[in-house]
A and B are shown apart, each in its own frame.
Chain A
Amino acid sequence: MPGWKTLFPVDLAEEGRLSRREFGRFMALVATGFSAGIGYLALRKRPLDGAPEPAAVPVEVKVCRAEELTPGNSFLFTYRNPQDRCILINTRQGWRAYRQTCTHLGCAVRWDGKGLECPCHNGYFEVERGFPIQGPPTRPLSRLAVELRADGWLWVRGDLPKPGPEAA
């Protein structure tokens, strides 16, 4: 019997029939696929989601001299690359550094003397921890660790962990 006749049988009863051998072949193929996928993940040695990016390795950046940033003022800088715009604020209680990217739609937030405002949709973040207190943003700003070193320069040392829900 020609091959096409078994593939396209005239009889209704033959239509969609799966032989034991074909079924076994299909199952073997599926099993191989799963094993290969799991094996790949195992060799990768880390899960697909939540893997730390290479860029998350702390980078220390010299920002500005401490006495140049008087209380109540801010200083703009870039952290890892020219697109990574950040803002350093002297809040009388201490220094705070945030990414300027608003957590709503990514406009640049700016320091207005009391908090960080986003001009696009009137979002507003308090300056202590970067939590949103007004407007559409629901997540806090991405915060960086600041350190005053003995030479009188302010350094940014890396990302601070994102605050969990209990911190709010």
Chain B
Amino acid sequence: MVSAEYGFFIDPQRCIGCRSCVAACAECGTHRGHSMIHLDELDRSASTQTGPTVCMHCEDPICAMSCPADAIKRSEDGVVHASQKPRCIACQNCELSCPFGVPIVFSGLEQMLKCDLCYDRTSLGQRPMCATVCPSQALLFAPRHEVAGQRANRPLREFLIGSLVVKTRNAIMVPDPETPMNLDAGLLCEGGL
């Protein structure tokens, strides 16, 4: 079981786009050969900024609730696991429903795989693969109280999608965590919502 004291913190401002996490993720024992991390260039023409996306491990996982095959489960420590192979029907509901765009349905496997916080490692007290290799610690797995005073940015674990509030186990480091981040796709349209 992953200790509740340990949190996973994603700080996109510290990301240098080295792709170490992407490579390390593919070495994880639970999904060897498949990387679960999405590393995006945010605005390629104007900036070198990149942002890593790993699963936020929602408290009320939308992927699991949208799963018609009852294949996605959360363990007691709040970790949302990859789909169970005997149940997953590769319908891609989870892919479409996840507000963070995390699950990937692999067409060769006919199964959805997602970040499970390297459960084989974290349940034994080790850090996830990505957090061990990240040179700038943009991906950080550490006790929550240690992070509190160390960074300029502070952890945010509450997001808005329209009127839906999504609370997560993992945190994104932002300058102002008091305001929940609105992830509604409508904001991407011209003129916002």
Contacts and interface: CB of A to CB of B under 8 A. Distances in A.
Interface of A: 8, 10-13, 15
Interface string B72-85: 11111000010000
Nearest to A5: B65
Contacts of B74: 10-12
B131 interface: no
A10 B72 contact: yes
A12 B61 contact: no
A147 B61 CA distance: 87
A10 B94 CA distance: 13
Contacts of A13: 75-76
A12 B70 contact: no
A11 B64 CA distance: 9
A16 to B, nearest CB: 11
Looking at chain B's contact residues, the main secondary structure is: loop
A12 B123 CA distance: 15
B62 to A, nearest CB: 10
Given A11-B74, A12-B74, 4 more contacts: A10-B65, A12-B76, A13-B75, A15-B73
Interface residues of B, number: 11
Nearest to A8: B70
Contacts of B72: 10
Interface of B: 60-61, 64-65, 70, 72-76, 81
Contacts of A12: 73-76, 81
20 contacts: A8-B70, A10-B60, A10-B61, A10-B64, A10-B65, A10-B72, A10-B73, A10-B74, A11-B73, A11-B74, A11-B75, A11-B76, A12-B73, A12-B74, A12-B75, A12-B76, A12-B81, A13-B75, A13-B76, A15-B73
A8 B69 CA distance: 9
A13 B76 CA distance: 7
B75 to A, nearest CB: 5
A13 B72 CA distance: 13
A12 B1 CA distance: 13
A11 B81 CA distance: 10
Contacts of A15: 73
Contacts of A11: 73-76
A10 B60 CA distance: 8
Interface-central residue, A10, A11, A15, by most chain B CB under 10 Å: A10
Nearest to B58: A10
Contacts of B81: 12
Contacts of B61: 10
Contacts of B70: 8
Nearest to B65: A10
B74 to A, nearest CB: 5
B99 to A, nearest CB: 16
A10 B61 CA distance: 8
A91 B70 CA distance: 78
Nearest to A10: B64
A10 B81 CA distance: 10
A85 B12 CA distance: 93
